[in-house]
Chain A
């Protein structure tokens, strides 16, 4: 009904035929359209603003107060929380641990994931069209397994694997004749606690990134590989000269999100070493924040730690971008397919939070 009115009106005014064309969308604000916009944009945005945006904003303010939660009183203390934090040995230790995680976890995970992806996609015979290795889907399914197991369960499984007495790891090692591992406490020794935690995070994440890279490599036009083969390039050469540059943006995105995951690491450490490990050697900022907030009720101080964690995260992301740019990647290509790149970024994060 209402759709016919504008036509009736214009018809009565007898416009020149040219004036009618060329406008694909009517901008008329009908009741239908107003409610449509309100519902479609308003409801999701309201939830997002209330539960994400406002808390993020408040965090920055509260980080500068000495608020302790259940009383309404607080003082504005400016940057005192931050100076206190950087004199707090436990926090500094956590910061150092988290930096280690952010360096090694993405590096090892991506190396392994790339190794798996290259082996699966390019492991086939080098004659004819590019083929995957035999049993590719078997390997792909298996390596993705840990990703679907809840992270807390991954942590619990490995906490048992590492158990000094009942754990399988020591069982295997003593079985191989290495008696000194009879009751070795992997998570209880300062030297091994952190590497052990890192290994578990890597174990849980490799499969996802391998599948991501497999998809990226399959997206490389096959002619590129065939042309390189005809030109006599070997496997190493094709990997270095074709595969890596082609999936560079995927690697960058993966690096950033792995870094973010490693900077958090809360689930894994809570499952394996909830007390922060020997001499706090596996304590993370997230754990420290959680205890300071919900056990000690120092909400202002805890939020300030959240701010530092956010800054560290952003600095990390900026560093990865910078390194990628300096070594000649990115930009030109990422502009061309901006929406895809964003969706890929979203996919690399692999779900909510």
Chain B
């Protein structure tokens, strides 16, 4: 990290030098501003990266080493920490549960959200605005207001402690966000393509699935990324509504594993468990980071 940073710093110092002939004062100001900016950004980068590196490094150490020498590299790289974490914390099982629940919920919410957004954005009918504002309220109220009634609602339907119940709840709470994002997107799609499809004899169903939905793909990708992060990181809903340990999702499993460590501390395994949890998301992030940044700006400037 520090090598990269230092490298960039010298590069930025070189830059204003070219301009110096023009106006000495402005270039000096530039350089000072750039230096301050870099200092600030590097400081923040260090604050962000160091804890993560420390976790990674400690995940290969024994508890004794972590306590006695927090900075040094491990004497002996204890891969067995990872094996311990995998078996003690049942990370594999929870990971699979998370994947099942989140992927199902994601597919469902993208489909239903797109459908709903499409109807609200492209058709005039009585009650349209009412539905819109009720959804907006759903986006604003805290989940905690609903959590207790939701518990009993799921119990009444026999969905408490089931994957299906959790999936449906995820869908319901992610729906307003998905709808609003895609609403703006469907509004901006050109009307004539839709008209052309109708003239060519497509019904409403075909017009949506074969013409409008494919056109909305960039918007769908952006929302899907946000929904994935939001649902993958979800903690409150599973903790309250999914208490059967065999169906725990990853966030629940990690919280429970960490609190079980209070009595019998194996720091190395705990850190290894954290690394196992974080690495897949970080890889996904690094692959899609351009797209994610794009998604944020898309949300901002549609």
Chain A interfacial positions (CB closer than 8 Å to B): 3, 24, 30, 32-33, 36-37, 39-41, 43-45, 47-48, 50-56, 58-59, 62, 69, 112, 115-116, 119-120, 123-127, 133-135, 138-153, 156-161, 165-168, 171, 175, 203, 206-208, 211-212, 214-216, 218-219, 234-235, 250, 260, 263-264, 266-267, 270-271, 274, 285-286, 289-290, 293-294, 299, 302-303, 306-307, 309-310, 313-314, 317, 339-340, 342-353
Contact A347 B175 (CB under 8 A): no
Q: Which of B226-247 contact A (CB under 8 A)?
A: 226-237, 239-240
Contact B234 A352 (CB under 8 A): yes
How far is A175 from B109 in the complex, measured between Cα atoms in Å? 50
Contact B116 A44 (CB under 8 A): yes
Contact B149 A353 (CB under 8 A): no
- Please, which residues of chain B bring their CB within 8 A of the CB of A165? 67
Q: Does B103 contact A (CB under 8 A)?
A: no
Contact B144 A286 (CB under 8 A): yes
How far is A309 from B22 in the complex, measured between Cα atoms in Å? 59
How far is A306 from B58 in the complex, measured between Cα atoms in Å? 40
Contact B47 A343 (CB under 8 A): no
Contact B149 A54 (CB under 8 A): yes
How far is A302 from B148 in the complex, measured between Cα atoms in Å? 8
Contact A148 B285 (CB under 8 A): yes
* Closest A residue by C-beta to B13: A134
Q: Does B129 contact A (CB under 8 A)?
A: no
Contact A271 B147 (CB under 8 A): no
Contact B302 A150 (CB under 8 A): no
How far is A115 from B33 in the complex, measured between Cα atoms in Å? 12
- Whether A116 touches B172, Cβ cut-off 8 Å, given contacts A152-B233, A175-B71, A351-B177, is no
- Whether A141 touches B116, Cβ cut-off 8 Å, given contacts A148-B281, A339-B302, is no
10 additional contacts, CB 8 Å, given A51-B172, A153-B274, A271-B255?
A: A24-B195, A47-B175, A48-B176, A56-B145, A135-B38, A141-B289, A156-B258, A160-B267, A270-B235, A343-B185
Across the A-B interface, give the 6 residue pairs with the lowest CB-CB distance, nearest first: A347-B299, A351-B230, A215-B297, A352-B174, A51-B172, A171-B70
Q: Closest approach, in angstroms, between the C-beta of A226 and any C-beta of chain B?
A: 15
Contact B38 A309 (CB under 8 A): no
Q: List 19 A-B contacts (CB under 8 A).
A: A48-B172, A55-B149, A139-B45, A150-B250, A152-B254, A156-B258, A175-B71, A211-B292, A214-B297, A218-B297, A260-B140, A294-B240, A299-B148, A306-B142, A340-B301, A352-B173, A352-B234, A353-B143, A353-B236
Contact A309 B34 (CB under 8 A): no
- Please, which residues of chain A bring their CB within 8 A of the CB of B173? 51-52, 352-353
Contact A313 B8 (CB under 8 A): no
Q: Closest approach, in angstroms, between the C-beta of A228 and any C-beta of chain B?
A: 14
Contact A36 B204 (CB under 8 A): yes
- Give the size range of B's interface with the partner: 35 or more
- Please, which residues of chain B bring their CB within 8 A of the CB of A62? 148-149
Q: Does B293 contact A (CB under 8 A)?
A: yes
Interface centre among B47, B147, B231, B236 (most CB of A within 10 A): B147
How far is A218 from B191 in the complex, measured between Cα atoms in Å? 29
- Whether A161 touches B54, Cβ cut-off 8 Å, given contacts A145-B48, A152-B255, A274-B259, is yes
Contact B145 A59 (CB under 8 A): yes
Q: Does B26 contact A (CB under 8 A)?
A: yes
Contact A127 B26 (CB under 8 A): yes
* Closest B residue by C-beta to A274: B259
Contact of B142 among A24, A43, A263, A302 (CB under 8 A): A263
Contact A346 B70 (CB under 8 A): no
- Whether A352 touches B177, Cβ cut-off 8 Å, given contacts A125-B16, A160-B271, is yes
Contact B115 A40 (CB under 8 A): yes
Interface centre among A139, A263, A310 (most CB of B within 10 A): A139
How far is A314 from B145 in the complex, measured between Cα atoms in Å? 12
Contact A51 B300 (CB under 8 A): no
Q: Closest approach, in angstroms, between the C-beta of B264 and any C-beta of chain A?
A: 14
Contact of B147 among A45, A293, A347 (CB under 8 A): A293
- Whether A120 touches B41, Cβ cut-off 8 Å, given contacts A47-B175, A166-B67, is yes
Q: Closest approach, in angstroms, between the C-beta of B113 and any C-beta of chain A?
A: 7
- Please, which residues of chain B bring their CB within 8 A of the CB of A145? 48-49, 52, 282, 285
How far is A274 from B153 in the complex, measured between Cα atoms in Å? 27
Q: Closest approach, in angstroms, between the C-beta of B227 and any C-beta of chain A?
A: 6
How far is A285 from B236 in the complex, measured between Cα atoms in Å? 14
Contact B113 A150 (CB under 8 A): no
Q: Does B183 contact A (CB under 8 A)?
A: yes
Q: Closest approach, in angstroms, between the C-beta of B148 and any C-beta of chain A?
A: 5
How far is A115 from B42 in the complex, measured between Cα atoms in Å? 12
Contact B37 A119 (CB under 8 A): yes
Contact B174 A353 (CB under 8 A): yes
- Whether A310 touches B172, Cβ cut-off 8 Å, given contacts A44-B115, A149-B278, A171-B71, is no
Q: Does B15 contact A (CB under 8 A)?
A: yes
Q: Closest approach, in angstroms, between the C-beta of B225 and any C-beta of chain A?
A: 9
- Please, which residues of chain A bring their CB within 8 A of the CB of B234? 352-353
